[in-house]
Amino acid sequence: MVTIIGSEELTARKSHLCDSCLRRIEPGARYRRARCVDGGDAWTWKTHLACQKAGEILWDRDISGEEDCLLNVCDMDHEDREMIYAADPETFHEVWPDRPAPGQPKPVQ
């Protein structure tokens, strides 16, 4: 079972990879860093604040990812995205800036 031994919100001084959406956390962006352990393994988890919030929205609805952790953004399906949009449209648009809101047509380009 994963145990979080520390978590903090930081401002990126260099580029990092978001472990939830797999996109870059750019320098100057705020992000969440957690130190995690599981048995003999230890690692650092970094995520955009919006990705963290999207996972927490689903967590509050008893939807979790592997090993009872927050669901990663890259693993969220259409129904998950609908729940996030219904709960917090701003977070939805931060996480998926190029995706139309659920129930809305795709913009013509």
| Inter-CA distances, 52 with 10, 66, 96, 107, Å | 13, 15, 13, 27
68 — phi, psi (to 5°)?
60, 45
Q: What is the mean pLDDT of residues 47-52?
A: 97
- CB-CB contact of 15 with 25 (8 Å): yes
Query: Collapsing DSSP states into helix, strand and coil, what is residue 98?
Result: coil
Query: To which residue do tokens 């669901």 refer?
Result: 71
Q: What is the mean pLDDT of residues 52-72?
A: 92
Residues 95-105: tens digit of each pLDDT: 999 988 887 77
Q: Could you tell me the two tokens for 45?
A: 């988890």
Quick one: pLDDT band at residue 1, thresholds 50, 70, 90?
Answer: confident
Which CATH number fits the domain 3-95, given the four candidates 3.10.450, 3.10.580, 3.40.390, 3.30.1740? 3.30.1740
> Is a pLDDT exceeding 60 seen at residue 109?
no
